[in-house]
Structure 1
Amino acid sequence: MRFFNSTQKNMSFSDVVASIKYFIRINPDNSFRIAIGTDSQVKGRNTCFATGIHIHMLGKGAWCCISKRLESKAYRNLREKISRETLFTYEIANMLNEQLMDSLEDFSAKYKNFQCNIEAHIDIGRNGETRKFIREMVGYFEGSGIDTKIKPESFVASSYANRYSKTFKVG
Protein backbone atom coordinates (compact mmCIF):
# COMPACT_ATOMS: atom_id res chain seq x y z
CA MET A 1 0.00 0.00 0.00
CA ARG A 2 1.44 3.35 -1.08
CA PHE A 3 0.38 6.87 -0.10
CA PHE A 4 0.77 10.28 -1.69
CA ASN A 5 -0.18 13.93 -1.26
CA SER A 6 0.48 17.12 -3.19
CA THR A 7 4.18 17.24 -2.18
CA GLN A 8 5.11 13.63 -1.42
CA LYS A 9 4.76 10.59 -3.65
CA ASN A 10 5.13 6.85 -3.14
CA MET A 11 5.14 6.92 0.69
CA SER A 12 5.07 3.64 2.61
CA PHE A 13 2.88 3.24 5.68
CA SER A 14 6.03 3.71 7.79
CA ASP A 15 6.66 7.01 6.00
CA VAL A 16 3.11 8.12 6.84
CA VAL A 17 3.56 7.24 10.52
CA ALA A 18 6.89 9.12 10.58
CA SER A 19 5.23 12.16 8.95
CA ILE A 20 2.44 12.15 11.55
CA LYS A 21 4.96 11.95 14.40
CA TYR A 22 6.98 14.77 12.83
CA PHE A 23 3.84 16.90 12.42
CA ILE A 24 3.04 16.46 16.12
CA ARG A 25 6.67 16.93 17.22
CA ILE A 26 6.80 20.41 15.61
CA ASN A 27 4.29 21.78 18.13
CA PRO A 28 3.31 19.00 20.57
CA ASP A 29 1.64 21.08 23.28
CA ASN A 30 -1.65 21.18 21.33
CA SER A 31 -4.76 19.18 20.51
CA PHE A 32 -4.73 16.95 17.43
CA ARG A 33 -7.26 14.87 15.54
CA ILE A 34 -6.22 12.01 13.27
CA ALA A 35 -9.05 10.99 10.94
CA ILE A 36 -9.18 8.14 8.45
CA GLY A 37 -11.89 7.70 5.82
CA THR A 38 -12.55 5.84 2.58
CA ASP A 39 -14.72 6.56 -0.44
CA SER A 40 -15.19 4.63 -3.65
CA GLN A 41 -16.46 5.03 -7.18
CA VAL A 42 -17.61 2.32 -9.56
CA LYS A 43 -16.78 2.68 -13.23
CA GLY A 44 -17.58 -0.14 -15.59
CA ARG A 45 -16.24 -3.37 -14.12
CA ASN A 46 -13.90 -1.67 -11.64
CA THR A 47 -14.12 0.10 -8.29
CA CYS A 48 -11.60 2.68 -7.15
CA PHE A 49 -11.19 2.98 -3.36
CA ALA A 50 -9.42 6.01 -1.91
CA THR A 51 -8.47 6.08 1.78
CA GLY A 52 -7.45 9.40 3.30
CA ILE A 53 -5.44 10.03 6.44
CA HIS A 54 -5.75 13.54 7.87
CA ILE A 55 -4.03 14.93 10.96
CA HIS A 56 -5.26 18.29 12.14
CA MET A 57 -3.61 20.46 14.78
CA LEU A 58 -6.83 22.03 15.95
CA GLY A 59 -6.97 25.64 14.79
CA LYS A 60 -3.44 25.56 13.37
CA GLY A 61 -3.13 23.45 10.23
CA ALA A 62 -3.14 19.93 8.88
CA TRP A 63 -1.19 17.27 6.99
CA CYS A 64 -2.89 14.60 4.91
CA CYS A 65 -2.28 11.83 2.41
CA ILE A 66 -4.23 9.35 0.33
CA SER A 67 -3.92 5.74 -0.77
CA LYS A 68 -5.80 4.29 -3.72
CA ARG A 69 -6.79 0.73 -4.57
CA LEU A 70 -8.32 -0.37 -7.82
CA GLU A 71 -10.33 -3.56 -7.67
CA SER A 72 -11.52 -5.32 -10.78
CA LYS A 73 -15.01 -5.74 -9.38
CA ALA A 74 -17.95 -3.40 -9.70
CA TYR A 75 -19.43 -3.05 -6.21
CA ARG A 76 -23.01 -2.24 -7.16
CA ASN A 77 -24.63 -3.55 -3.95
CA LEU A 78 -24.64 -0.56 -1.57
CA ARG A 79 -24.15 -2.63 1.61
CA GLU A 80 -21.20 -4.46 0.07
CA LYS A 81 -19.62 -1.21 -1.18
CA ILE A 82 -20.06 0.62 2.16
CA SER A 83 -18.79 -2.46 4.04
CA ARG A 84 -15.67 -2.56 1.88
CA GLU A 85 -15.02 1.17 2.42
CA THR A 86 -15.53 0.76 6.17
CA LEU A 87 -13.22 -2.28 6.27
CA PHE A 88 -10.41 -0.31 4.57
CA THR A 89 -10.92 2.54 7.05
CA TYR A 90 -10.94 0.07 9.94
CA GLU A 91 -7.70 -1.59 8.83
CA ILE A 92 -5.80 1.69 8.44
CA ALA A 93 -7.22 3.19 11.65
CA ASN A 94 -6.17 0.15 13.65
CA MET A 95 -2.71 0.07 12.07
CA LEU A 96 -2.25 3.76 12.91
CA ASN A 97 -3.57 3.28 16.44
CA GLU A 98 -1.11 0.42 16.97
CA GLN A 99 1.88 2.23 15.41
CA LEU A 100 1.25 5.53 17.20
CA MET A 101 0.12 4.32 20.65
CA ASP A 102 3.52 4.55 22.37
CA SER A 103 4.40 7.89 20.79
CA LEU A 104 1.04 9.42 21.70
CA GLU A 105 1.43 8.22 25.28
CA ASP A 106 4.94 9.78 25.40
CA PHE A 107 3.65 13.11 24.08
CA SER A 108 0.82 13.01 26.60
CA ALA A 109 3.26 12.43 29.49
CA LYS A 110 5.60 15.26 28.39
CA TYR A 111 3.14 17.98 27.34
CA LYS A 112 0.24 19.01 29.56
CA ASN A 113 -1.91 20.36 26.69
CA PHE A 114 -1.25 17.46 24.30
CA GLN A 115 -4.33 15.57 23.25
CA CYS A 116 -4.89 13.36 20.23
CA ASN A 117 -8.05 11.57 19.14
CA ILE A 118 -8.23 9.02 16.34
CA GLU A 119 -11.44 9.07 14.32
CA ALA A 120 -12.90 6.82 11.64
CA HIS A 121 -14.91 8.77 9.06
CA ILE A 122 -17.56 6.64 7.38
CA ASP A 123 -19.29 7.78 4.20
CA ILE A 124 -22.82 7.22 5.52
CA GLY A 125 -25.41 9.50 7.06
CA ARG A 126 -28.87 9.83 8.53
CA ASN A 127 -30.29 10.90 5.15
CA GLY A 128 -30.50 8.69 2.11
CA GLU A 129 -30.06 4.97 1.57
CA THR A 130 -26.98 4.61 3.76
CA ARG A 131 -28.88 5.43 6.97
CA LYS A 132 -29.86 1.77 7.36
CA PHE A 133 -26.18 0.79 7.69
CA ILE A 134 -25.20 3.18 10.49
CA ARG A 135 -25.41 0.71 13.39
CA GLU A 136 -23.64 -2.03 11.43
CA MET A 137 -20.76 0.14 10.16
CA VAL A 138 -20.23 2.01 13.45
CA GLY A 139 -20.13 -1.43 15.09
CA TYR A 140 -16.78 -2.14 13.39
CA PHE A 141 -15.15 0.37 15.73
CA GLU A 142 -16.89 -0.34 19.04
CA GLY A 143 -14.36 -1.13 21.74
CA SER A 144 -11.36 -0.07 19.64
CA GLY A 145 -10.85 3.35 21.20
CA ILE A 146 -11.45 4.92 17.80
CA ASP A 147 -14.24 7.48 17.56
CA THR A 148 -16.62 7.12 14.62
CA LYS A 149 -18.05 10.01 12.60
CA ILE A 150 -20.77 9.91 9.95
CA LYS A 151 -22.04 12.60 7.59
CA PRO A 152 -21.93 15.54 7.90
CA GLU A 153 -18.90 15.15 10.24
CA SER A 154 -17.11 12.48 8.15
CA PHE A 155 -15.25 14.94 5.90
CA VAL A 156 -12.22 12.72 5.27
CA ALA A 157 -14.43 10.09 3.59
CA SER A 158 -17.14 12.28 2.09
CA SER A 159 -14.92 15.12 0.85
CA TYR A 160 -11.16 14.41 0.84
CA ALA A 161 -11.20 10.73 -0.20
CA ASN A 162 -14.17 11.38 -2.48
CA ARG A 163 -12.09 13.77 -4.56
CA TYR A 164 -9.47 11.08 -5.21
CA SER A 165 -11.81 8.12 -5.69
CA LYS A 166 -13.16 9.68 -8.88
CA THR A 167 -9.93 9.14 -10.81
CA PHE A 168 -8.73 5.66 -11.59
CA LYS A 169 -5.07 6.57 -11.95
CA VAL A 170 -3.46 5.05 -8.83
CA GLY A 171 -0.69 7.11 -7.15
Structure 2
Amino acid sequence: MEKRKQWRRLNGSIVEAAIEDEVRNVLLQAQEQGHAMKVCIGTDSQVKGGITEFATVIVFLRKGKGGFMYIHNETSQRKMAIKERMLEEVTKSIEIAYELCSLFTAFNVDMEVHADINTSPGFKSNDALKEAMGYIMGMGFVFRAKPHAFASTNCADKAVH
Protein backbone atom coordinates (compact mmCIF):
# COMPACT_ATOMS: atom_id res chain seq x y z
CA MET A 1 0.00 0.00 0.00
CA GLU A 2 1.32 3.44 -0.96
CA LYS A 3 2.08 5.70 1.98
CA ARG A 4 -0.25 8.69 2.03
CA LYS A 5 1.35 12.13 1.95
CA GLN A 6 1.10 13.98 5.25
CA TRP A 7 -0.52 17.40 4.90
CA ARG A 8 -0.80 20.11 7.54
CA ARG A 9 -2.45 23.46 7.97
CA LEU A 10 -0.47 26.70 8.36
CA ASN A 11 -1.00 26.54 12.14
CA GLY A 12 0.82 23.18 12.13
CA SER A 13 -2.21 20.98 12.79
CA ILE A 14 -2.09 17.69 10.89
CA VAL A 15 -4.76 16.86 8.32
CA GLU A 16 -5.98 13.43 9.37
CA ALA A 17 -8.18 12.80 6.32
CA ALA A 18 -6.92 12.08 2.83
CA ILE A 19 -6.25 15.41 1.10
CA GLU A 20 -8.99 14.68 -1.47
CA ASP A 21 -11.56 14.32 1.33
CA GLU A 22 -10.29 17.44 3.08
CA VAL A 23 -10.47 19.49 -0.13
CA ARG A 24 -13.96 18.15 -0.92
CA ASN A 25 -15.13 19.24 2.55
CA VAL A 26 -13.54 22.69 2.11
CA LEU A 27 -15.27 23.12 -1.25
CA LEU A 28 -18.62 21.92 0.09
CA GLN A 29 -18.38 24.35 3.00
CA ALA A 30 -17.40 27.23 0.70
CA GLN A 31 -20.31 26.41 -1.59
CA GLU A 32 -22.75 26.37 1.35
CA GLN A 33 -21.41 29.73 2.55
CA GLY A 34 -21.59 31.24 -0.94
CA HIS A 35 -17.85 31.89 -1.28
CA ALA A 36 -16.38 32.21 -4.77
CA MET A 37 -13.17 30.16 -4.58
CA LYS A 38 -9.92 29.99 -6.48
CA VAL A 39 -7.10 27.50 -5.85
CA CYS A 40 -3.39 27.98 -6.54
CA ILE A 41 -0.91 25.11 -6.20
CA GLY A 42 2.82 25.63 -6.00
CA THR A 43 6.07 24.13 -4.77
CA ASP A 44 9.33 25.66 -3.61
CA SER A 45 12.57 24.03 -2.53
CA GLN A 46 15.69 24.77 -0.58
CA VAL A 47 19.03 22.99 -0.62
CA LYS A 48 20.89 22.55 2.67
CA GLY A 49 24.02 20.47 2.55
CA GLY A 50 23.18 17.31 0.62
CA ILE A 51 19.45 17.54 1.27
CA THR A 52 16.80 19.29 -0.80
CA GLU A 53 13.57 20.09 0.99
CA PHE A 54 10.39 20.64 -0.99
CA ALA A 55 7.22 22.33 0.25
CA THR A 56 4.05 21.99 -1.81
CA VAL A 57 1.06 24.17 -0.96
CA ILE A 58 -2.59 24.22 -1.90
CA VAL A 59 -3.75 27.82 -1.46
CA PHE A 60 -7.49 28.49 -1.25
CA LEU A 61 -8.62 32.04 -1.96
CA ARG A 62 -12.12 33.12 -0.96
CA LYS A 63 -12.80 36.18 -3.12
CA GLY A 64 -12.98 39.15 -0.77
CA LYS A 65 -12.73 36.90 2.32
CA GLY A 66 -9.04 35.98 2.59
CA GLY A 67 -7.46 32.62 2.13
CA PHE A 68 -5.78 29.64 3.74
CA MET A 69 -3.47 26.83 2.70
CA TYR A 70 -2.43 23.25 3.20
CA ILE A 71 1.24 22.27 3.21
CA HIS A 72 3.16 19.09 2.42
CA ASN A 73 6.92 18.85 3.02
CA GLU A 74 9.30 16.20 1.75
CA THR A 75 13.05 15.83 1.33
CA SER A 76 15.39 14.31 -1.22
CA GLN A 77 19.05 13.41 -0.92
CA ARG A 78 19.48 13.31 -4.70
CA LYS A 79 21.85 15.99 -6.00
CA MET A 80 20.12 18.08 -8.66
CA ALA A 81 21.17 20.87 -10.98
CA ILE A 82 19.02 24.01 -10.72
CA LYS A 83 16.98 23.20 -13.85
CA GLU A 84 16.25 19.68 -12.63
CA ARG A 85 15.22 21.02 -9.21
CA MET A 86 12.87 23.59 -10.81
CA LEU A 87 11.25 20.87 -12.91
CA GLU A 88 10.97 18.61 -9.83
CA GLU A 89 9.08 21.44 -8.09
CA VAL A 90 6.74 21.69 -11.08
CA THR A 91 6.25 17.91 -11.09
CA LYS A 92 5.23 17.93 -7.42
CA SER A 93 2.72 20.73 -8.07
CA ILE A 94 1.28 18.97 -11.12
CA GLU A 95 0.91 15.69 -9.22
CA ILE A 96 -1.34 17.28 -6.59
CA ALA A 97 -3.17 19.43 -9.17
CA TYR A 98 -3.91 16.32 -11.22
CA GLU A 99 -5.02 14.40 -8.13
CA LEU A 100 -7.51 17.15 -7.21
CA CYS A 101 -8.55 18.60 -10.59
CA SER A 102 -11.76 16.57 -10.89
CA LEU A 103 -12.93 18.08 -7.58
CA PHE A 104 -12.16 21.60 -8.79
CA THR A 105 -14.02 20.89 -12.02
CA ALA A 106 -17.02 19.43 -10.15
CA PHE A 107 -17.22 22.51 -7.91
CA ASN A 108 -16.48 24.93 -10.79
CA VAL A 109 -13.38 26.29 -9.01
CA ASP A 110 -10.60 27.97 -10.99
CA MET A 111 -7.18 26.44 -10.37
CA GLU A 112 -3.69 27.62 -11.27
CA VAL A 113 -0.30 25.93 -11.01
CA HIS A 114 2.43 28.33 -9.86
CA ALA A 115 6.10 27.79 -10.71
CA ASP A 116 8.92 29.42 -8.73
CA ILE A 117 10.67 30.26 -11.99
CA ASN A 118 11.83 33.70 -13.00
CA THR A 119 10.64 35.04 -16.37
CA SER A 120 13.76 37.22 -16.64
CA PRO A 121 16.58 35.52 -18.61
CA GLY A 122 19.18 36.85 -16.15
CA PHE A 123 18.17 34.31 -13.49
CA LYS A 124 19.32 30.67 -13.35
CA SER A 125 15.79 29.34 -12.81
CA ASN A 126 14.80 30.82 -16.20
CA ASP A 127 16.54 27.85 -17.88
CA ALA A 128 13.53 25.72 -16.90
CA LEU A 129 10.82 28.22 -17.94
CA LYS A 130 9.91 26.79 -21.37
CA GLU A 131 9.78 23.20 -20.14
CA ALA A 132 7.80 24.11 -17.02
CA MET A 133 5.30 26.17 -18.99
CA GLY A 134 4.89 23.41 -21.58
CA TYR A 135 4.49 20.75 -18.90
CA ILE A 136 1.88 22.67 -16.90
CA MET A 137 -0.11 23.93 -19.90
CA GLY A 138 0.21 20.56 -21.63
CA MET A 139 -1.57 19.02 -18.64
CA GLY A 140 -4.37 21.52 -19.22
CA PHE A 141 -3.63 23.75 -16.22
CA VAL A 142 -3.28 27.54 -15.99
CA PHE A 143 0.41 28.43 -15.63
CA ARG A 144 1.84 31.29 -13.54
CA ALA A 145 5.53 32.18 -13.11
CA LYS A 146 7.25 34.93 -11.12
CA PRO A 147 6.13 37.59 -10.29
CA HIS A 148 2.56 36.17 -10.49
CA ALA A 149 3.33 32.82 -8.84
CA PHE A 150 2.67 33.74 -5.19
CA ALA A 151 1.71 30.16 -4.18
CA SER A 152 5.25 28.97 -4.89
CA THR A 153 7.30 32.15 -4.42
CA ASN A 154 5.65 33.36 -1.20
CA CYS A 155 3.48 30.66 0.40
CA ALA A 156 5.58 27.55 -0.29
CA ASP A 157 8.75 29.58 0.31
CA LYS A 158 7.59 30.21 3.90
CA ALA A 159 6.82 26.50 4.38
CA VAL A 160 10.31 25.25 3.47
CA HIS A 161 12.14 24.74 6.77
* CA deviation after TM superposition for structure 1 residue 91, in Å: 0.6
CA contact (8 A) 1:117 1:146 kept: no
The correspondence of residues 14-163 of structure 1 with structure 2, limited to 5 A, is 14-28=20-34, 30-75=35-80, 77-102=81-106, 104-105=107-108, 116-127=109-120, 128-163=123-158
C-alpha distance after superposition, 1:57-88 (max 9, x if no partner): 1121212110011112233x011100100000
Which region of structure 1 is more displaced relative to structure 2, 8-17 or 79-88? Answer: 8-17
User: In structure 2, what is the Cα distance between the partners aligned to 1:52 and 1:60?
Assistant: 19
User: In structure 2, what is the Cα distance between the partners aligned to 1:120 and 1:23?
Assistant: 23
User: In structure 1, what is the Cα distance between the partners aligned to 2:124 and 2:23?
Assistant: 35
SS at 1:52 equivalent: strand
* CA deviation after TM superposition for structure 1 residue 135, in Å: 1.7
Tell me the residue number matched to 1:13. Answer: 19
User: In structure 1, what is the Cα distance between the partners aligned to 2:20 and 2:148?
Assistant: 28
Q: Which runs of 5+ in 2 are unaligned?
A: none
CA contact (8 A) 1:38 1:49 kept: yes
TM-score, structure 1 as length reference: 0.81
* Amino-acid identity (%): 25
Greater relative contact order (CA < 8 Å, ≥ 6 in sequence): 1
Give RMSD over aligned pairs: 1.8
Q: Which letter maps to 1:126? A: T
CA contact (8 A) 1:38 1:123 kept: yes
SS at 1:141 equivalent: helix
CA contact (8 A) 1:54 1:64 kept: yes
Aligned length: 153
| CA 1:100–1:117: 2 relative to 1, 3 Å | closer
Q: Which runs of 5+ in 1 are unaligned?
A: 106-115
* CA deviation after TM superposition for structure 1 residue 17, in Å: 1.6
TM-score, structure 2 as length reference: 0.85
